[in-house]
Structure 1
Amino acid sequence: MENNAKMFWTGLSPDEAREALVNKDKSQKDKRMTLKEAVSRFVKDGDNVGIGGFVDVRQPIAICHEMIRKGFKDLTLSFQSAGMAPEYFAGAMMLNPDKFSIKRIELAYWGHEAFGLAPAWRYLAERGMIEIEDWSNYNMSARFKAGSMGLPFIPTRGPLGGDVKHTSRTKIINCPFTDRPIALLPASNPDVALIHVQAADMYGNCIIRGTDCTCAEIAMASAHTIVTCEQLVSHELLTRNPKDIMIPFAAVDAVIEVPYGAYPGACRRHYWFDGDHIRKFLGLIAPIAKGGSPDALQAYYDEYIYGVENFEDFLQKVGVKQLLAVKAAEYDNCERLV
């Protein structure tokens, strides 16, 4: 019975998640470390990895690059809607599945909105290389919410109106109060969450500007959380307005200051999307699905990921001029929104 129950959960089971929370060190301590240290300490083969952000907004790209350099096998990726983070992972798997591989994805959407579909997902899916569990955005948010609350499931009406109930672990019962059908969604408790935020202090308290993207729930639901931030600020400054704290320090295990850590995606108040870089990267993947050579994609990884020591070196290759351009574009768009 225990083995069957374990098979149902693709990350931590609810009991394992509660035990992890109880045993977690909740002291207010300095959690600053390097990306290499954080990835080596908190990520392992076979993990369920929760990805924060939404599509190409606040994607944890710096953490993804570091994970690709180190190499991990048989990961499960859980996210609401994501773009470049899983795309980078999938591209690495396409090039060398013996070094980096995805076993399963649990998601609502994987794509790039204005920049197109996800060619790497299509490549892996059409060849049966990954398991896929399909949900809606609300469903995945609800699953992370259940995980963050320590519940094994959460009741919703959403799956009753479509096909999600046929493509997922949704259970439908008659409500004990109304005797009408209600859908039960299993909690999502990743082994590790990858989150990028605008600001954090050294203890792990985080501020998110703009869309919060269920990041707080992903962090609270996960056994471990790695946070990169645009700015590492003092505890006194960050807690001046306590209501601004979106993720509390107790949920966070590692904090790394990485300016432009979501590039080439966007980060509200800091920089806009680099559409040219995103389109360039996607354009290297698409031909491979049609039987084309992977050499150009391999060259990208060799130059921008494997060929550098850290994310700062990646940014140096991108160039100051381009980074300043996307920063200026964000300011321009912010002014238009005011």
Structure 2
Amino acid sequence: MSIIVSLRELAAHVRDGQKLAVPSDFSGFYSGIAMEATRELIRRGVRDLHVVGLPTTGLQADLLLGAGCVATLEASSVFMGEYGVPPCFQRAFKAQSFRMIEATCPAIHAAFQAGEKRIPFIPLRGILGSDVVRLRTDWKVIDNPFAADDPILLLPAINPDWALFHAPMADRHGNVYYGRRRELAVMAHASTGTLATVEKLYDGDLMEDPALACATLPSLYVDAVSVVPHGAAPYGFGDFYAEDEQAMWHYMESAKTEEGLRAYLDAHVFATTEALS
């Protein structure tokens, strides 16, 4: 079976109740956000997801929350920069309709690194004494076994079922070029499987090009790739396209109310095209 599949086939890998890792979407600058794949998950009606932002999330999680797809959200923050507080997240948080697992950016990065190495936990020092340590009962403070009077924090590894992200390109073998965003490789290594949407197909073998191989995720870690031009929109994506600020503000205004959100979903998510099948 080909690893290059339709968007619908790619999204079908994600089942109800699974843990889904997504990269940070700080105004599209930080990493590639698989927004069209996210909309396809909503169209499929997936439920009870445990979404983990590496290390933050924003519009992507907000849409999933608004569509009723999320049971647990784990991130160091949920925000949309200059656009303001994500409206669906704010409503759902006040209604306590999902479980929020708070963390910090260093903690989530470290926990993914533990997951990548397939070790059960990893030590971290910088957040000792903070309230988040008190709130996270699954984190443990122990005595450093190699030094006296030296407490250290242990974090459990994060091993998602799926890593989902958007990348510049992939080849027909399933190798995915992620560029400068090294955290995408860590996310993929820590996860059981990886789903990637890409802007285009590369003509050749990415692993055979020394200039590209060093920033390419080998097909060993990849389960499905779908070619979805503008797959990160309305976020911008590198040199491919800029962020659609008008679309972002339109979402923020629409999602202020449940009625507005429903209208937005009808117009911008459920209005599918043949190209997505």
1:106 matched residue in structure 2: 74
2:272 matched residue in structure 1: 308
1:43 matched residue in structure 2: 14
> What is the CA distance between 1:213 and its match in structure 2?
6.2
> Per-residue CA shift, 1:275-300, capped at 9, x if unaligned?
111111011122x2xxxxx3332122
The one-letter code matched in structure 1 to 2:50 is: T
Q: Would you say 1:253 and 2:193 are equivalent positions?
A: no
The one-letter code matched in structure 2 to 1:134 is: E
> What is the CA distance between 1:159 and its match in structure 2?
2.3
> What is the CA distance between 1:52 and its match in structure 2?
2.3
The one-letter code matched in structure 2 to 1:60 is: A
2:105 matched residue in structure 1: 137
> What is the CA distance between 1:243 and its match in structure 2?
4.5
Task: Indicate if the aligned counterparts of 1:139 and 1:158 stay in contact, CA closer than 8 A.
Answer: no
Q: Where does 1:4-43 land on structure 2 (aligned, <5 Å)?
A: 30-40=2-12, 42-43=13-14
1:147 matched residue in structure 2: 115
Overall identity of the aligned pairs, in %: 28
- Counterpart CA distance in 1 for 2:242 and 2:207 is 24
Aligned-partner SS, 1:235: coil
1:23 matched residue in structure 2: none
> Aligned residues, how many?
270
- Counterpart CA distance in 2 for 1:301 and 1:68 is 9
Aligned-partner SS, 2:66: helix
1:207 matched residue in structure 2: 177
> What is the CA distance between 1:39 and its match in structure 2?
1.7
- Counterpart CA distance in 2 for 1:185 and 1:140 is 9
Q: Would you say 1:76 and 2:50 are equivalent positions?
A: yes
> Per-residue CA shift, 1:58-78, capped at 9, x if unaligned?
211011011000011111111
The partner residue of 1:124 within 50, 68, 92 is 92
> Per-residue CA shift, 1:255-294, capped at 9, x if unaligned?
11111110001111111111111111011122x2xxxxx3
1:234 matched residue in structure 2: 203
- Counterpart CA distance in 1 for 2:25 and 2:267 is 27
> Per-residue CA shift, 1:196-225, capped at 9, x if unaligned?
111211233222234x16211111111121
> What is the CA distance between 1:56 and its match in structure 2?
3.5
Task: Indicate if the aligned counterparts of 1:52 and 1:196 stay in contact, CA closer than 8 A.
Answer: no
Q: Mind listing any 5+ residue stretches in structure 2 that lack a counterpart?
A: none
Q: Would you say 1:170 and 2:139 are equivalent positions?
A: yes
When residues 192 and 183 of structure 1 are mapped into structure 2, their CA distance, relative to the original with a 3 A threshold, is same
Q: TM-score, normalised by structure 2?
A: 0.91
- Counterpart CA distance in 2 for 1:197 and 1:303 is 26
The one-letter code matched in structure 1 to 2:100 is: I
Structure (1/2) with the larger helix percentage: 1
What CA RMSD, in Å, does the superposition of the two structures yield over aligned residues?
1.9
- Counterpart CA distance in 2 for 1:90 and 1:73 is 10
When residues 311 and 108 of structure 1 are mapped into structure 2, their CA distance, relative to the original with a 3 A threshold, is farther
Task: Indicate if the aligned counterparts of 1:192 and 1:225 stay in contact, CA closer than 8 A.
Answer: yes
> Per-residue CA shift, 1:105-130, capped at 9, x if unaligned?
11111111122221111111111111
- Counterpart CA distance in 1 for 2:72 and 2:9 is 26
When residues 237 and 250 of structure 1 are mapped into structure 2, their CA distance, relative to the original with a 3 A threshold, is closer
> What is the CA distance between 1:236 and its match in structure 2?
2.9
> What is the CA distance between 1:187 and its match in structure 2?
0.6
1:270 matched residue in structure 2: 240
1:297 matched residue in structure 2: 261
Task: Indicate if the aligned counterparts of 1:47 and 1:74 stay in contact, CA closer than 8 A.
Answer: yes
Task: Indicate if the aligned counterparts of 1:54 and 1:213 stay in contact, CA closer than 8 A.
Answer: no
Q: Mind listing any 5+ residue stretches in structure 1 that lack a counterpart?
A: 1-28, 94-100, 289-293, 314-338
Task: Indicate if the aligned counterparts of 2:175 and 2:206 stay in contact, CA closer than 8 A.
Answer: no
- Counterpart CA distance in 1 for 2:143 and 2:14 is 40
Task: Indicate if the aligned counterparts of 2:111 and 2:121 stay in contact, CA closer than 8 A.
Answer: yes
- Counterpart CA distance in 2 for 1:115 and 1:312 is 29
- Counterpart CA distance in 2 for 1:102 and 1:35 is 20
- Counterpart CA distance in 1 for 2:131 and 2:57 is 21
